[in-house]
């Protein structure tokens, strides 16, 4: 029985109890939300990790993408990225490798990862298809499903499948007239296959086959947004919403089949459309968890897209997004290096935390109160312990040390906190 099937029967498993305890919610509540498709636990049955619940009324989670491309593929660096990401509190990672020994990389990452690991199996199908047939357009539907099966059998916890990119959505895309058409890599591969073969998307046409496969491993499906806007001008258009409606239909079918689903979302979205996008997803997709990439509130943030993404992610989180995919400062420029992934992760963690506070999550609010009290007491070790990167704070403080040990070099002897405490004690 899958999690949804257990939950529908009112069976509360040890896994649900553990996940609920981590979240600080009741196991009964979490179980009901799983039964209704509003929360998921993203774990493959054969992957031995702590359960991670994502969804309704839960702490906003952060995913970090890693992986190689043809131009940069060293397995050791990806393992190192995984380690620092876990150290700084990533909730999940996705291996998006498309270069080098990608099967070996995936296996190593699954072995090493103490947190849920996601993939996009179509990448592997495409890379292997290109090698086998000389072109990705010659892949067969079986090749695609076999890639998903290989990932499920290998212990991957959640997979992105671009099953909402239908022929109808492609028509809508063409009639829309976008600047950037499709910027999703998996979506682009599917589109090319569909157009050259003049066939419907196999993951849509044979969706039941996908559900059967997912059911077997209690694999969580992350329904991909091939139509996510790649620039602000393309945001919230008919192509995007067409796909989102289809994803809502597919989510309902998955729920009936006992398969957990999360929905992927934009993308590049103007700030004033972010909240609306979150609410639209929740209504069109039956309250399913929303997994968003950014959203980036400007197209011009190259080198600082983690900041554009944190702005969008925080607003989205406050408005109901459940799962933030980080964006690194290297986005749109190159594959990220170690520093880039840390910066991207912490930017998204700040966004998620700000969203949690806005949503009233007690543990998030309490953390900031603790920080404020440490600050009031000029307790620097305490402040570091509440920060997202104590190593950095310690190093920076040491690099410009204050002359009095209880203040910092910004205000030095004119520390407002000390001045006010002295003044208010008087009288």
Residues 147-166 that bind a copy of itself (CB under 8 A): none
Which of 16, 82, 90, 351: binder of a copy of itself (CB under 8 A)? 351
Distance CA 360, CA 354 (A): 10
Which one of the spans 146-154, 236-244, 254-262, 264-272 is the region binding a copy of itself (CB under 8 A)?
264-272
- The structure tokens 């003049």 sit at 198
Distance CA 401, CA 413 (A): 13
In the region spanning residues 56 to 85, those forming contacts with a copy of itself, defined by CB under 8 A, are 69-72
User: Which one, of 50, 51, 33, lies nearest residue 289 by Cα?
Assistant: 33
Tell the burial category of 400 from Cβ atoms under 10 Å away from its Cβ (0-12, 13-18, 19+): exposed
User: Which one, of 117, 141, 139, lies nearest residue 46 by Cα?
Assistant: 117
| Residue 50 or 373 having the CB closest to a copy of itself | 373
Element (H, E) at 154: helix 141-154
Return the sign of the alpha-carbon dihedral for residues 69, 332, 227, 164.
Answer: positive
Q: Is the CB of residue 122 less than 8 Å from the CB of residue 151?
A: no
Which of 318, 321, 325, 361: binder of a copy of itself (CB under 8 A)? 318
Which of 53, 311, 321, 325: binder of a copy of itself (CB under 8 A)? 311
| Residue 1 or 233 having the CB closest to a copy of itself | 233
Q: How far is the CB of 204 from a copy of itself (least distance, A)?
A: 17
Binding of a copy of itself at residue 323 (CB under 8 A)? no
- The structure tokens 């699954």 sit at 110
Which one of the spans 75-83, 100-108, 228-236, 280-288 is the region binding a copy of itself (CB under 8 A)?
228-236
User: Which one, of 284, 188, 293, lies nearest residue 242 by Cα?
Assistant: 284
| Residue 217 or 326 having the CB closest to a copy of itself | 326
Which of 22, 75, 358, 378: binder of a copy of itself (CB under 8 A)? 358
Beta strands in 167-325 (DSSP E): 220-223, 261-265, 290-293, 323-325
Tell the burial category of 153 from Cβ atoms under 10 Å away from its Cβ (0-12, 13-18, 19+): middle
Binding of a copy of itself at residue 378 (CB under 8 A)? no
Q: How far is the CB of 44 from a copy of itself (least distance, A)?
A: 25
| Residue 15 or 331 having the CB closest to a copy of itself | 331
Which of 36, 357, 378, 382: binder of a copy of itself (CB under 8 A)? 357
Which of 108, 149, 238, 397: binder of a copy of itself (CB under 8 A)? 397
Q: Is the CB of residue 278 less than 8 Å from the CB of residue 305?
A: no
Q: How far is the CB of 283 from a copy of itself (least distance, A)?
A: 21
Q: How far is the CB of 187 from a copy of itself (least distance, A)?
A: 7
In the region spanning residues 234 to 253, those forming contacts with a copy of itself, defined by CB under 8 A, are 234
Binding of a copy of itself at residue 386 (CB under 8 A)? yes
Task: Classify strands 53-55 and 61-66 as parallel, antiparallel or unpaired.
Answer: unpaired
Which of 208, 256, 406, 413: binder of a copy of itself (CB under 8 A)? 413
Binding of a copy of itself at residue 411 (CB under 8 A)? yes
In the region spanning residues 4 to 63, those forming contacts with a copy of itself, defined by CB under 8 A, are none
Q: Would you give the end-to-end CA distance of the chain in angstroms?
A: 70
Tell the burial category of 121 from Cβ atoms under 10 Å away from its Cβ (0-12, 13-18, 19+): buried
Site string for a copy of itself, 111-140 (x = CB under 8 A): ------------x--x--------------
């Amino acid at each position: 029985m899958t999690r949804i099937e257990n939950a529908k029967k009112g069976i509360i498993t040890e896994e649900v109890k553990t996940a609920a305890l981590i979240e600080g919610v009741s196991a009964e509540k979490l179980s009901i939300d799983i039964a209704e498709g509003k929360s998921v636990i993203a774990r493959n049955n054969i992957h031995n990790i702590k359960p991670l619940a994502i969804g309704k009324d839960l702490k906003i989670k952060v995913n970090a993408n890693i992986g190689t491309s043809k131009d940069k593929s060293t397995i050791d660096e990806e393992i190192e990225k995984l380690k620092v990401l876990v150290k700084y509190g990533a909730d999940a990672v996705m291996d998006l490798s498309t270069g080098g020994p990608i099967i070996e990389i995936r296996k190593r990452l699954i072995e090493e990862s103490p947190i849920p690991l996601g993939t996009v199996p179509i990448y592997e199908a495409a890379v292997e298809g290109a090698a086998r047939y000389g072109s990705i357009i010659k892949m067969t539907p079986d090749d695609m499903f076999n890639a998903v099966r290989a990932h499920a059998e290998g212990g991957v916890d959640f997979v992105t499948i671009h099953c909402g990119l239908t022929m109808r959505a492609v028509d809508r895309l063409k009639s829309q007239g976008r600047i950037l058409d499709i910027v999703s890599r998996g979506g682009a591969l599917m589109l090319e296959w569909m157009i050259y073969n003049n066939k419907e998307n196999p993951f849509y046409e044979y969706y039941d086959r996908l559900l059967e496969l997912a059911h077997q491993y209690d694999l969580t499906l992350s329904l991909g947004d091939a139509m996510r806007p790649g620039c602000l001008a393309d945001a919230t258009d008919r192509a995007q919403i067409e796909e989102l409606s289809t994803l809502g239909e597919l989510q309902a079918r998955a729920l009936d089949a006992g398969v957990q689903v999360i929905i992927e979302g934009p993308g590049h979205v103007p700030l004033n459309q972010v909240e609306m996008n979150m609410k639209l997803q929740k209504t069109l997709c039956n309250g399913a968890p929303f997994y968003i990439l950014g959203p980036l509130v400007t197209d011009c943030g190259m080198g600082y897209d983690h900041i554009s993404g944190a702005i969008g992610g925080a607003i989205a989180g406050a408005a109901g997004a459940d799962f933030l995919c980080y964006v690194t400062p290297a986005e749109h420029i190159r594959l990220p290096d170690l520093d880039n992934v840390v910066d991207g992760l912490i930017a998204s963690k700040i966004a998620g935390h700000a969203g949690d506070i806005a949503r009233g999550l007690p543990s998030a609010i309490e953390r900031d109160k603790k920080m404020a009290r440490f600050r009031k007491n000029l307790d620097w070790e305490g402040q570091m312990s509440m920060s997202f990167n104590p190593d950095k704070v310690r190093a920076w403080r040491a690099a410009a040390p204050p002359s009095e040990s209880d203040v910092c070099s910004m205000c030095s002897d004119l520390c407002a906190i000390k001045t006010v405490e002295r003044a208010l004690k008087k009288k």
